[in-house]
């Protein structure tokens, strides 16, 4: 590794802010409008959030659990926890209460982020300090152990440099294997930065790319194939307004980088199928014949301009040059359809050292007994 190259995710963030401070880094759709944060704003907000966490007592090695769908606040808080030397643990909002209890027993986190009132109520009985996303801008929650996300930002002291270490943990991901049994993956900063370099080089990612983050925030592939490459390559990362609007938002953006699972691509293939007429119509036959080795250049050209190109626009792939599928590969029918649309889907394994861990029955969740928090600086 060359001297001066970033070795942690906060290092990557600070490098982007130095190199392109006014370039758009994050966009999130709210009430039908795209809200934009530049790289300078991202690094400033991350540093302020890290200072706010530290004032609450968050210390190097601490864990921040985040129960959220993909959203700007959850991502910035993850980076802030890492900036402060801690570990971000994204959790699926659809986790059942029993699985959430197992995870809390295992991690014993003192801090958590809740994306809405339902998650806030669940976490209040399990974690000492809960950060409330408060997406509607309502008055702060009356509970003394709830901190409003908007009030968490604190002026950072002079010289408040990132505490993250290259071989320190950046993200931990957990899944329920059985009642009382979990599996976890832990990723260090060094491992994520190293893999991000490989992904960026292989997929030819650059600062001009547009990425679309619609898949689960609590998936390891999100950190490995979107968040870490975003910080390293400096492209724009876009969050949809909601899962219900993700297809319209993707079509509006026409991202150049799309990462999803086999199920993601199967759902998009169904969108394409719904837009095509019956099985024996000329459009379907033309699209199918264009994939035959016997088809000539004229047939392929007609199929592209009359059928494939418009269908790529329908699903928001008109500019996509990097289409990634993580985990199991596409099934044959989905793969054939995307090949007909001239979308080269690259498979990236969702491999990793999943380790089975038993939840600690002796470490019951901390319920309504927050530890006293003293500023660490």
The CA-atom distances, in angstroms, between 205 and each of 231, 233, 234, 315 are 11, 7, 9, 21
The span from the CA of 238 to the CA of 226, in Å, is: 11
Per-residue confidence band for 350, with pLDDT thresholds at 50, 70 and 90: confident
262 close to 309: Cβ distance less than 8 angstroms:
no
DSSP 317: -
Q: Give the mean model confidence (pLDDT) for residues 18-47.
A: 94
Report pLDDT digits (tens) over 117-172: 899 999 999 999 999 987 666 666 767 789 999 889 877 666 678 999 999 999 99
Phi, psi dihedral angles at 137 (to 5 degrees): 70, 30
The span from the CA of 193 to the CA of 306, in Å, is: 42
What are the structure tokens assigned to 293, written together? 């080795």
> Model's pTM, two decimal places?
0.89
Give me the chain's average pLDDT, please: 88
List the domains of the chain with CATH numbers.
Answer: 12-187+354-358 (3.40.50.980)
Burial 20-57 (b: 16+ CB within 10 A, else e): eeebbbbbbbeeeeeeebbbbbbbbbbbbbbbbbbbbb
User: Which is higher by pLDDT, 166 or 30?
Assistant: 166
The span from the CA of 265 to the CA of 223, in Å, is: 19
């Amino acid at each position: 590794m060359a001297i001066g190259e970033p070795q942690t995710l906060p290092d990557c963030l600070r490098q982007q802010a130095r190199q392109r401070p006014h370039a758009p880094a994050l966009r999130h759709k709210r009430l039908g409008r795209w809200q934009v944060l530049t790289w300078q704003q991202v690094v400033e907000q991350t540093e302020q959030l890290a200072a706010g966490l530290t004032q609450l007592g968050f210390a190097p090695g601490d864990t921040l659990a985040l129960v959220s769908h993909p959203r700007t606040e959850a991502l910035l808080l993850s980076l802030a926890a890492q900036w402060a030397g801690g570990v971000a643990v994204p959790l699926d909002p659809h986790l059942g209460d029993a699985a959430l209890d197992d995870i809390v027993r295992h991690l014993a986190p003192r801090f958590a982020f809740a994306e809405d009132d339902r998650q806030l109520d669940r976490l209040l009985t399990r974690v000492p300090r809960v950060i409330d996303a408060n997406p509607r801008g309502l008055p702060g929650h009356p509970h003394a152990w709830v901190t409003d996300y908007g009030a968490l930002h604190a002026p950072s002291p002079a010289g408040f440099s990132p505490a993250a270490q290259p071989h320190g943990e950046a993200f931990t991901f957990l899944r329920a294997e059985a009642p009382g049994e979990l599996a976890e993956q832990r990723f260090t900063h060094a491992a994520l930065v190293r893999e991000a370099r490989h992904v960026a080089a292989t997929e030819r990612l650059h600062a001009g790319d547009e990425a679309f983050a619609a898949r689960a925030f609590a998936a390891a592939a999100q950190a490995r194939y979107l968040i870490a490459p975003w910080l390293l390559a400096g492209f724009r990362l876009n969050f949809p307004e909601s899962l219900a609007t993700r297809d319209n938002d993707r079509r509006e953006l026409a991202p150049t980088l799309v990462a999803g699972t086999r199920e993601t691509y199967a759902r998009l293939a169904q969108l394409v199928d719904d837009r095509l007429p019956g099985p024996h119509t000329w459009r379907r036959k033309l699209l199918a014949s264009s994939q035959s080795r016997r088809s000539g250049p004229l047939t392929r050209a007609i199929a592209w301009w009359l059928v494939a190109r418009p269908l790529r626009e329908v699903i928001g792939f008109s500019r996509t040059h990097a289409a990634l599928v993580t985990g199991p590969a596409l099934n044959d029918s989905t793969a054939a359809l995307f090949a007909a649309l001239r979308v080269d889907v690259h498979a990236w394994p969702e491999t990793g050292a999943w380790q089975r861990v038993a939840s600690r029955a002796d470490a019951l969740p901390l319920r309504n007994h927050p530890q006293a928090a003293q500023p660490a600086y």
